[in-house]
Amino acid sequence: MRKLLALATVGFSVVASAAFAQDKPKIGMPMTTLNDAFWVDYVNFAQSAADAYGYELVVTDAQSREDKQLSDIETLVNGGVKGIILTPLSEPLGVKAIELLDEAGVPVVVTDTYPGVEPADFENYLAFIKLDDETAGYNVAKHLIEKDGVTKLVGIGGVPGISTSEARNDGLKKAAAEHPEVELLDIQYTDWTLAKGQTVMEDFLTRFSEIDGVWGAGSDPLLGAIVSIENAGRSGIKLAGIDITEAALEALADDKLSMLAGGHWVMGGYGIAIINDHLNGHETDQPVYEMNLYYLTKDGIGDYREKIIEPLKEGKSLIDWAAVSKTNDPSVNHAEAFSVIKP
């Protein structure tokens, strides 16, 4: 409930039907879930873009159900949205959604999860904005190995088969392979949830008494792993992972995590910039954009909270949206303008 109340304070619409008001033009955001701190930040940042460009942001919550996400997209289309920002729950759903939107003539920008098709294949599929997931997974693993001295490592993964999760796992495997002294004991999936992270970690602790490092594809599963480690009375295990959330920051401050990587919640906001430019006759510079991450250790928490987290919660704009808009300045290059925001 706390997360949903935080969402409500920034003023976007969370809808369950197609009965929309007729004031501003609308952009739809059919979210996979709103029960995740990362996606709260994602929507808050996107709201600042919508406000700057004069749109109402209409957000739906699929509650991690593919059938509901597709139904939500249909609801948004029927409600007359001018564009869609989509993070599909799976590749098959991504294909169905893009085909539906292309046929309806609704422009779409896909973020985070590869949808199984390319922008070049569809007139109304404008761009795919993604994280360099393999590099992110690699750098987190390198930190554990080279900074924390980990040699017996386990991986807490995301969802099997989706691009974000598998690429992060590939980065972990690559880093471990570069260090012959390191043994990657196992990687297990957690569906990005704290509860499954806790269960997986309990299993790891039972099977591998020698664990000294835990790599996480997402911060929520890592928080679950911390619970299991504490319940088992274990110490000396280093943990690091991807997604900078408020709860993960607290764990970092308490030395329960050694490093976090994140900031890619910017993707949805940049998608709105692309759609706004498209609707005003300015096409984006390339079909795929790849975000790099911000890497945070304990000594940077204060700056990150003050300059990023608190303004984001308050609905303040973290960037000058005119500066990334071709509508405002046709010479703007999206590839140069889109980046993770740093304190």
pLDDT tens for 239-254 read 999 999 889 999 999 9
Residue 309 CA from chain centroid, whole number: 15
What tens-digit pLDDT sequence spans the chain (343 residues)?
A: 223 333 333 344 555 434 445 589 999 999 999 988 889 889 999 999 999 999 999 999 999 899 999 999 999 999 999 999 999 999 999 999 999 999 999 999 999 999 999 999 999 999 999 999 999 999 999 999 999 999 999 999 999 988 899 999 999 999 999 999 999 999 999 998 999 999 999 999 999 999 999 999 999 999 999 999 999 999 999 999 999 988 999 999 999 999 999 999 999 999 999 999 999 999 999 999 998 899 999 999 999 999 998 888 887 889 999 999 999 999 999 999 999 888 8
Residues 127 and 137 in one domain: no
Q: State the Cα–Cα distance between residues 63 and 97, nearest whole angstrom.
A: 17
Q: Which of 262, 295, 319 is at the close of a domain?
A: 262
Residues 160 and 223 in one domain: yes
Residues 320 and 207 in one domain: no
Residues 199 and 271 in one domain: no
Look at residue 22 in the predicted model and tell me its pLDDT.
Answer: 57
What phi and psi values does residue 31 have, to the nearest 5 degrees? -75, 150
Q: What is the arrangement of strands in the sheet containing 259-262, beginning at the earlier edge strand?
A: 183-189, 152-157, 213-216, 238-242, 259-262, 294-296
Look at residue 342 in the predicted model and tell me its pLDDT.
Answer: 86
Quote the pTM value.
0.87
Q: Which of 210, 229, 262 is at the close of a domain?
A: 262
SS (H, E, C) the chain: CHHHHHHHCCCCEECCCCCCCCCCCEEEEEECCCCCHHHHHHHHHHHHHHHHHCCEEEEEECCCCHHHHHHHHHHHHHCCCCEEEECCCCHHHHHHHHHHHHHHCCCEEEECCCCCCCHHHCCCEEEEEEECHHHHHHHHHHHHHHHCCCCEEEEEECCCCCHHHHHHHHHHHHHHHCCCCCEEEEEEECCCCHHHHHHHHHHHHHHCCCCCEEEECCHHHHHHHHHHHHHCCCCCCEEEEECCCHHHHHHHHCCCCCEEEECHHHHHHHHHHHHHHHHCCCCCCCCEEEECCEEECHHHHHHHHHHHHHHHHCCCCCCCHHHHCCCCCCCCCHHHHCCCCCC
Look at residue 13 in the predicted model and tell me its pLDDT.
Answer: 52
CA distances from 275 to 80, 82, 106, 256, 308 (A): 15, 8, 10, 40, 25
AA identity, residue 265: W
Evaluate whether residue 331 is within a structural domain.
Answer: yes
Look at residue 1 in the predicted model and tell me its pLDDT.
Answer: 27
Nearest Cα neighbor of 192 from 155, 154, 221, 222 is: 221
Evaluate whether residue 206 is within a structural domain.
Answer: yes
Q: State the Cα–Cα distance between residues 84 and 110, nearest whole angstrom.
A: 8
Residues 142 and 256 in one domain: yes
Contact 156, 225 (CB under 8 A): yes
Residues 88 and 197 in one domain: no
Structural domain span for residue 183: 133-262
Using DSSP bridges, classify how beta strands 259-262 and 294-296 pair: parallel, antiparallel or unpaired.
antiparallel
What phi and psi values does residue 130 have, to the nearest 5 degrees? -135, 165
Which domain CATH number covers 191? 3.40.50.2300
Residues 18 and 80 in one domain: yes
Residue carrying structure tokens 């017996």? 152
Contact 61, 15 (CB under 8 A): no
Look at residue 292 in the predicted model and tell me its pLDDT.
Answer: 86
Q: 161-187: per-residue pLDDT in tens? A: 888 999 999 999 999 999 999 999 999
